[in-house]
Amino acid sequence: MNLIEKIEAAGVVGCGGAGFPTHRKLSGTFEYLIANGAECEPCLRHDRWLMRNKAKEIIEAMDAIAAELNIPKAVVALKGHYEEEAAALESAIASRGSSVTVHRMESFYPAGDEQTMVYEVTGRVVPPAGIPAAVGAVVDNVATLYAVWEAMQGIPFTKKFLTVTGEVNVPSVMHVPVGTPILKCIELAGGAKIDDYLVVSGGPMMGFPIAPEKLAEAAVTKTTGGILVLPKGGYHERSAQLNIKRMLSRAKSACIQCSNCSQLCPRHMLGHPLEPHKIMRKMAMGGDPKDMLDDPVIRSAALCCECGICEVYACPMGLNPRKINAIIRSELREAGIRYERTGDSWTPNPERELRKAPTDKVAARAGVYRYNKLDVSNFVEYDGR
């Protein structure tokens, strides 16, 4: 089997959250192979652990992919303050005589958004509703690349790296079988420090709360990146309790059309025609999104990456443009409506560099600042027995 066939046989999918089959993602012709080591979400630490401890395997996988697909430029992109991780990668590159380079970015959210990362590394803007391949790039998370290395050794993708943190006794990076109960992962992290808690699957920005009645049945999947144990009563619990009617009622009464959500939107800053404040205006005045899908402004919600900057960081009124965009995107998919872009070039906003959201401030707005500062150096290897 060639490398792509080995990746398919091993069942490797994207570990950054989307879960797209990696063998399909690597189908094409590319100028850049970009390893995503930005660890986009606050609080999560498993990608950093991998870059410190599995750098040789990550670089070997990148070299193999670049050779297989004749990709001339291979780059690991990570945040500039990841000094130990960068040193480990550079040592691995030197020891292999690899041509992979390390690209240091600023510490901002969402640095790990693949369209943002492509622009940071290449200076090219991925077209609205497009994929990095449109500008000659392919982006794989470093955990995905480690899974590719395992596939090269004939090891199937059956275990997942993830972070378990928050109100647990021993915040940890774990490597556990897919299907491991979420409650078992919390137990492996020394158990919860508080009795009444909320569990968020994923990171604090793009993750989702697990309903208490479903927690006993919840399990790790190939796309689970984090398990956050948080006190009840915070942003995540309040946000989960809002329905569309309540969100629109709040928007109608409280949205001041300040446009902060648009001014700080990462996709808008890349030049994409996405302006969340206009979507909020339309929805507040209109009502049911199903009746508004022909509106070009409403259709622009398809461009949203659901990073949460608009509602967690930007909105002074605590409204929910991200969730409203997600509802519209779901309705558009159900109606079979695809975004139709116009034009053939997009120019980033000249103030983009000034409007990047610092990760620590984002964590503070999400109510997880102190968890973002926890020591998550403990590692747990669990075989399911």
Q: Quick one: tokens of 50?
A: 């991998």
Residue matched to tokens 């130990």: 84
- What architecture does CATH give domain 160-234+367-381? Roll (3.10)
Domain positions in the chain? 3-152, 160-234+367-381, 242-365
Q: Facing residues of 231 across strands? A: 197
CA 315 to each of CA 32, 104, 318, 367: distance values in angstroms, whole numbers, following the listed order: 36, 29, 6, 15
| Domain spanning 3-152: CATH 3.40.50.11540 | yes
| SS3 sequence of 17-39 | CCCCEHHHHCCCCCCEEEEECCC
Indicate the residue type of 287: G
0.85 cut: is pTM over it?
yes
Q: What is the pLDDT along the chain (385 residues), one digit of tens a residue?
A: 899 999 999 999 999 877 899 999 999 999 999 999 999 899 999 999 999 999 999 999 999 999 999 999 999 999 999 999 999 999 999 999 999 999 999 999 999 999 999 999 999 999 999 999 999 999 999 999 999 999 999 999 999 999 999 999 999 999 999 999 999 999 999 999 999 999 999 999 999 999 999 999 999 999 999 999 999 988 888 888 888 888 888 888 899 999 999 999 999 999 999 999 999 999 888 768 888 899 999 999 999 999 999 999 999 999 999 999 999 999 999 999 999 988 888 999 999 999 999 999 999 999 999 999 999 999 999 998 7
